[in-house]
Amino acid sequence: MSPPAARAEPDPEPLLSESERPATALAVLAATAATADLRSTPRKLALVVPRYGIEVRGGAELGARMIAERVSSMLGWPVEVFTTCALEATTWANEYPEATEEINGVAVHRFRSASGRAPGFDRLSRRILNRPAMTSEVDGRRWIDRQGPVSPGLLDAVRASDADVVAFYPYLYHPTVAGLPMVAEQGRAAAIMHPAAHDEAPIRLALFRSVFDAADGFVFQTWGERRLVERLFPIAHRRQVLVGLGVDRHDADHGAAAEHLAAVGVGDRPYLLCLGRIDDGKGAGGLAQWFAAYKERHPGPLQLVYVGPVVNRPQPHPDVHVIGEVGEGAKWGLLERAEVLVNPSPYEAFSLVVIEAWMAGVPIVVNGRCEATVEHCDRSGGGLAFTGYASFEAAIERLSADADLRRHLAERGRAYVEAEFGWGTIVDRYGAFVRTVADARGSRGSRGSGVSRGSRGSRAPR
């Protein structure tokens, strides 16, 4: 059986010749000048996110923290975050104290939730999301309220903020649904949205039309996300920027990784790695079933290892192992030892674990139904996609047997990450966009239009 082929891509760019290097030096100087210009004209940025903290591992929440910390450290802008006291998104229980603290140079204001995930929410979801486009706005808002978190104190503090721009991240939860239109109606600050959207049922609820319509601008992580949002909402005339996320590389702790592997019985055997929330909604259960079928057809030493918080434990199998959550050093050690990273999720807005795998020198296999991860594979030539069991089997069989192919794909993936998602490029692009949106709101008091490619003191919340 032949493997699923990655889509045709041109050969990687050759190394720069001596004659080309001055142009690169000029580009570096231009980027440095752009950063200096942004540092000399700061804007105050506030981010609104349902949960926030070092311990919070969610993709959207981690993305918000990475952006906040780098705008603060690299541009020197004042940045504050408005969030709840929640640690877990499954309950939104108040676990952090209600207080203001500084995390890596960012002022973080936490407020208690009046309500979190309501009893019976899953039952309501099945009814509401069965035909989301047919759901009334009243029922949609009931679904948002019962999903949680609902925090009146957070909204009051956002209303009182003196930020130039308030960024809401992601689209899906009550703080964005209630807060973004509120900021837009006030008119003092520009309201931008980081949708972190993927093709799922909730985004088709009618209530989101007015939320997306209220935004002055949009920050997207992939071209696929932008196409999805423009297909669903009339926002093509609004200011937009494509940013993505960078990688926080930590030193690999190979000793800790070996201890984790030994503890679950993997030892020195080769393994596929599934990294992230272990959740049937993210494809974790289906991956375990397919891997069990693969092992019946291809007996051998290959194992499947899950690393991350456990929501749904996969069905037991002698070659499937769940390690659970680990520290950053152990995570990078486990990544570097893996044969392949498999991301089975059909629902990703960006997928930071894919980017991390390439930086660790590991190729990827992704779900062909996920536009974001397939886009990464298409643009980089660094991975393969499966659309069913046959293509999954073919990809794993080919990659397991061919170390040169694994290395080649990983090298192409890493080159793509280094070209597109360096933090300097991301922060300059994001800062220029925030400044443009803020200035347009300040000078005209209205939303501008356009697509971008490319200070006052903090006030404690009341």
CATH code of 206's domain = 3.40.50.2000
Judge if 238 and 292 occupy the same domain.
Answer: no
Q: What's the pLDDT tens digit per position in 144-175?
A: 999 999 999 999 999 999 999 999 999 999 99
- pLDDT for 443: 64
Residue 270 included in any domain: yes
Closest to 190 in 3D by CA, of 162, 157, 154, 150: 162
CA angle 393, 339, 309 (to 5 degrees): 90
Judge if 416 and 432 occupy the same domain.
Answer: no
Give the domain extent around 149. 40-246+422-452
Provide the number of structural domains found in the chain: 2
Judge if 196 and 312 occupy the same domain.
Answer: no
pTM for the complete prediction?
0.82
- pLDDT for 33: 53
Residue 5 included in any domain: no
> Residue 355, exposed/middle/buried by CB under 10 A (0-12, 13-18, 19+)?
buried
Q: What's the pLDDT tens digit per position in 3-50?
A: 333 333 333 333 333 333 333 333 334 445 556 688 778 899 999 999
Judge if 415 and 431 occupy the same domain.
Answer: no
Token digits of residue 413: 């993936």
- pLDDT for 35: 64
Residues 116-144: b if buried by 16+ CB within 10 A, e if exposed? bbbeebeebeeebeeebeebeeebbbbbb
Q: Which residues of the chain have pLDDT under 70?
A: 1-36, 58, 443-462
Judge if 93 and 222 occupy the same domain.
Answer: yes
Residue 107 included in any domain: yes
8 Å CB contact between 395 and 401: no
- pLDDT for 3: 36
Judge if 219 and 336 occupy the same domain.
Answer: no
Residues 80-93: b if buried by 16+ CB within 10 A, e if exposed? bbbbbbbbebeebe
Residue 350 included in any domain: yes
Residue 27 included in any domain: no
Judge if 73 and 203 occupy the same domain.
Answer: yes
Residue 303 included in any domain: yes
- pLDDT for 69: 96
- pLDDT for 153: 98
Judge if 276 and 368 occupy the same domain.
Answer: yes
Alpha-carbon separation of residue 462 from 80, 157, 385 (angstroms):
14, 6, 49
Find tokens 């709840």 and name the residue: 84
Judge if 259 and 382 occupy the same domain.
Answer: yes
Judge if 74 and 172 occupy the same domain.
Answer: yes
Residue 326 included in any domain: yes
Judge if 182 and 61 occupy the same domain.
Answer: yes
Judge if 392 and 311 occupy the same domain.
Answer: yes
One-character DSSP codes across 125-158 = HHHHTTSGGGS-HHHHHHHHHHHS-B-HHHHHHH
Residue 370 included in any domain: yes
